[in-house]
């Protein structure tokens, strides 16, 4: 198997073992434009779940009154945590799909 294909696939699969560090290193250390493109796409997709962190904090802030009074379910917090989990699952599935597609 070609080394460039394996390196590109590892950039996508690194979501399981190295987060955004492996695609970042590959992006700066490789000269192949196709591997560089895949490393950039993998890096951006690995950083997507970070967007969910402010959403969860926004849900906590919106539900602050409900927490203080002790009444009701923290609806916004539950919704934002659900969206964060959904976004993370979609990103993992997309990275696995792209990694397999690069290998084939």
Structure-block tokens of residue 79? 């919704």
CA angle at residue 57 from 51 to 62, to 5 degrees?
Answer: 125
Range 63-86 burial, b when 16+ CB lie within 10 A, else e: beeeeeeeeeebebbeebbeebee
CB 24 within 8 A of CB 41: no
How many C-alpha atoms does 89 have within 13 Å on its Cβ side? 6
Q: What is the pLDDT of residue 62?
A: 75
Q: What is the pLDDT of residue 59?
A: 77
CA distance 44 to 30: 17
Q: What is the pLDDT of residue 54?
A: 84
* Number of structural domains in the chain: 1
Q: Which domain range does residue 18 map to?
A: 1-103
CA distance 18 to 56: 24
Q: What is the pLDDT of residue 70?
A: 66
Q: What is the pLDDT of residue 90?
A: 92
Run means of pLDDT, 10 residues per run, the chain, 104 residues: 85 86 90 90 88 80 68 75 89 92 90
Query: How many whole angstroms from its chain centre is CA 73?
Result: 28
pTM of the predicted model as reported, rounded to 2 decimal places: 0.79
């Amino acid at each position: 198997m070609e080394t460039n294909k394996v390196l590109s696939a590892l950039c996508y699969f690194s979501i399981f073992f190295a987060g955004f560090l492996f695609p970042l290193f590959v992006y700066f250390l490789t000269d192949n434009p196709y591997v560089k493109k895949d490393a950039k796409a993998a890096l951006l997709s690995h950083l997507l779940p970070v967007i969910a962190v402010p959403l969860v904090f926004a849900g906590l802030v919106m539900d602050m009154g409900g927490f203080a009074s002790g009444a009701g379910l923290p609806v916004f917090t539950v919704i934002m945590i659900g969206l964060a989990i959904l976004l993370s699952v979609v990103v993992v599935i997309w990275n696995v799909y792209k990694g397999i597609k690069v290998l084939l």
